[in-house]
């Protein structure tokens, strides 16, 4: 009991002491299995949120402190949710198939995710943030991945493998209609995220032969790379929209870096000898 109370106090301290209430969650195998961690944007405070004998990956954080993530506790990929203040974990998906890549809606009421429960390809699904009312949004024979909302909740950007055998980026209405093709570069393009004002989209791609971070306008124009020569993946916008956190690979590890939205002023946030992935940055409510 004392240990549990101490952990809650440490988590409250983590939230209250971080600058502007901001926190970055990510997954790491620094202690063996992949687990979920939280770190302040200045890199000074690190907290382990899950500790399991199985892998926990792909966290998504909402401003109330809820963290949705993938866990293999059930023997397959299912979506769970905890709050950083009490760490009480609840399972949200129970159906057959694999359920991956949870992302909160702007108002926190829903979670987007992908699942292959209805076939061999992954499709985009939506559920209430408590796991209720799980509905399928895309209904095609292709592989759809990495869905996320525009800031106003009216659009969903995602990547899909269509006829050309590459993953390209698409945008559709939040109901799953009116798809628009944004990239067509004969490369794999993953993890698109709208900027905080909805004007731009960040993603990663291997269009120059190695994975890097790219930015384009929300209509697909003005596409350009902002990362350096090292392989870089999973960009995510800062709460003020002026910076990005993403993952840079070393020889035997990967770590979190922060840069301005134009790729300048790069700062390495973590220096672990492990694989550290899928960082998500949010400003939390006090």
Query: What tens digit of pLDDT does each residue of 134-147 get?
Result: 999 999 999 999 99
> Residue holding tokens 């790491």?
28
> Is residue 284 in a domain?
no
What's the total number of domains in the chain?
1
3-class DSSP assignment, residue 17: helix
What is d(CA 36, CA 25) in angstroms, rounded to the nearest whole number? 7
Determine the pLDDT at residue 1. Answer: 46
Determine the pLDDT at residue 13. Answer: 53
Q: What is the DSSP letter of 20?
A: G
> Residue holding tokens 């687990």?
35
Q: Which of 256, 227, 258, 225 is nearest to 242 (CA)?
A: 258
Determine the pLDDT at residue 209. Answer: 93
What is d(CA 2, CA 125) in angstroms, rounded to the nearest whole number? 40
> Is residue 244 in a domain?
yes
- Which string of b and e fits 242-264 if b means at least 16 CB within 10 Å? ebbbbbbbeeebbbbbbbebebe
> Is residue 52 in a domain?
no
Q: What is the DSSP letter of 3?
A: H
> What is the mean pLDDT, run by run of 10 residues, along the chain of 286 residues?
45 55 97 96 96 96 97 95 90 94 97 94 97 96 96 98 91 96 94 98 96 98 97 98 98 97 97 97 92
- What is the pTM assigned to this prediction? 0.92
> Is residue 76 in a domain?
yes
Determine the pLDDT at residue 5. Answer: 45
Burial of 118 (C-beta count, 10 Å sphere; 0-12/13-18/19+) = middle
3-class DSSP assignment, residue 279: strand
Determine the pLDDT at residue 9. Answer: 47
- Percent of the chain past pLDDT 70, that is, above it, reads 93
Both structure tokens of 130:
């408590």
Cβ-contact 24, 45 below 8 angstroms: no
> Is residue 263 in a domain?
yes
> Is residue 38 in a domain?
no
Q: What is the DSSP letter of 284?
A: P
**What are the strands of the beta sheet with 56-61, ordered from one edge?**
56-61, 66-71, 78-83, 90-91
3-class DSSP assignment, residue 181: strand
Write out the residue range of the structural domain in which residue 191 sits: 71-272
> CATH no. for residue 260?
2.120.10.30
């Amino acid at each position: 009991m004392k240990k549990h109370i101490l952990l809650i106090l440490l988590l409250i301290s983590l939230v209250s002491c971080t600058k502007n209430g901001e926190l970055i969650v990510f997954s790491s195998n620094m202690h063996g299995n992949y687990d979920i961690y939280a770190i302040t944007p200045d890199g000074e405070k690190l907290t382990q949120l899950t500790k399991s004998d199985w892998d926990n990956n792909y966290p998504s954080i909402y401003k109330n402190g809820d963290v949705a993530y993938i866990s293999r506790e059930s023997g397959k990929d299912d979506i769970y949710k905890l709050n950083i203040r009490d760490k009480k974990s609840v399972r949200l998906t129970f159906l057959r198939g694999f359920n991956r890549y949870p992302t909160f809606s702007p108002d926190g009421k829903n979670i987007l995710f992908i699942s292959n429960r209805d076939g061999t390809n992954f499709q985009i699904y939506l559920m209430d943030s408590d796991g209720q009312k799980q509905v399928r949004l895309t209904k095609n024979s292709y592989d759809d991945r990495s869905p996320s909302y525009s800031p106003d909740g009216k659009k969903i950007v995602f990547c899909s493998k269509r006829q050309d055998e590459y993953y390209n980026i698409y945008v559709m209405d939040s109901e799953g209609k009116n798809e628009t093709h944004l990239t067509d570069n004969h490369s794999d393009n993953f993890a698109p995220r709208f900027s905080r004002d909805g004007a731009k989209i960040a993603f990663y791609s291997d269009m120059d032969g190695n994975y890097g971070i790219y930015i384009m306008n929300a209509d697909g124009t003005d596409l350009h790379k902002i990362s350096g020569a090292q392989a870089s993946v999973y960009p995510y916008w800062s709460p003020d929209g002026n910076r990005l956190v993403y993952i840079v690979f070393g020889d035997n590890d990967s770590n979190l870096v922060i840069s301005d939205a134009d790729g300048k002023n790069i700062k390495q946030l973590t220096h672990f000898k492990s694989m550290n992935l899928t960082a998500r940055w949010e400003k939390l409510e006090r």
